[in-house]
Amino acid sequence: MLSAPNVAVVGVTGAVGEEFLAILAERNFPIGDLKLLASKRSAGKKIEYQGKIFTVEELTEDSFDGVDLALFSAGSSASKKYAPVASEVGATVVDNSSAFRMTDGIPLVVPEANADTIKGIELGKGGIIANPNCSTIIMLVPVTPLHRLAHVKRMVVSTYQSASGAGRAAMMELDSQTRQVLDGKPPECKLFPQQYAFNLFSHNSDIGEEGYNTEELKMVYETHKIWGDDSIKITATCVRVPVMRAHSESINLEFEDPIDEKIASETLKAAPGITVIDDRDNNRFPTPLDASGKDDVLVGRIRNDISREGDGACGLDIFVCGDQLRKGAALNAVQIAELLL
């Protein structure tokens, strides 16, 4: 068992890559040698980590010799090309892209939901583990303990997704457009085809023949894989909102068994990775600002679904907020690595 693995961070100059370094430092993750990797245009950049200056190296097929753990966040095309190479030479890969999420034999992991699926994988022995989509992670951290309590039969989720989910360029576009609009200037639309500031729109992913975009379908199929149950009915509507960081989700749950909102609240309070903010008297519930920079997923608006009062109180509504860059991406990957340790 490795006590201080040699670590490579792939895509280190991106928003999630920077978050990888911050979280590794905050959690005192033991590292032997550290290698920072990115595209050719970022090679040579200097980055400080734990008081030491590192030089970013160009990502190549020769980048992984001696690496025990490779944290990938460089996009699916880079992952498809380089993750198998890294695994072949002994690096255990935790990949944040969509490249391997639905690949048979590759675990798709939310530690709070299905940590047992990575049993048998050892650091420095190769293998690939997939990080789920950010919206799926933020949803399943609070829904999984409720699923264990009363078994989810159907789930309807609407997301309110921040700019951070589309990367640094989206965050910069939201910032610049907001300044332009407030200055009375027309907003420049570079990344998105429509105005982002003071607006919201359907998630900017491809629409399939059935009318669902790929973000919505990820939430469906990834949940089925993580829970190991394709019978659960799930539908999603994903929307991009002018929030800089942290996603929000409104979730309606139908259960096989009756569930009481008070018991549900106590279950969520006792579950790992969750902070309950549910103050009805003061109308105080989770917000994206509350969740930004936080590890926990925030949960509130916990209430029985009044539309199901006649069928055994088997319905529940919750509202959740989670930091897309942390628990929705980098933190989840580092937690997987900690399990491997």
Give alpha helix (H) positions in 151-187. Answer: 168-182
Among 259, 303, 294, residue whose Cα is nearest residue 274:
294
Measured CA to CA, the distance from residue 138 to residue 296 in angstroms comes to 9
**Secondary structure of residue 119 in the 3-state scheme:** coil
**Secondary structure of residue 165 in the 3-state scheme:** helix
| N-term to C-term CA, the chain | 7
Helix axis angle for 331-340 and 15-26, nearest 10°, is: 50
139 and 320 Cβ atoms separated by less than 8 Å? yes
Measured CA to CA, the distance from residue 238 to residue 230 in angstroms comes to 21
What tokens does 61 get? 């097929």
DSSP string, 59-108: --TTTTTT-SEEEE-S-HHHHHHHHHHHHHTTPEEEE-SSSSTT-TTS-B
């509130």: which residue's tokens? 300
Catalytically annotated residues:
134, 247
- Pairing verdict, β 247-255 and 315-322: antiparallel
DSSP string, 18-65: HHHHHHHHHTT---SSEEEEE-GGGTT-EEEETTEEEE-EE--TTTTT
- Counted residue by residue, the chain has a size of 341
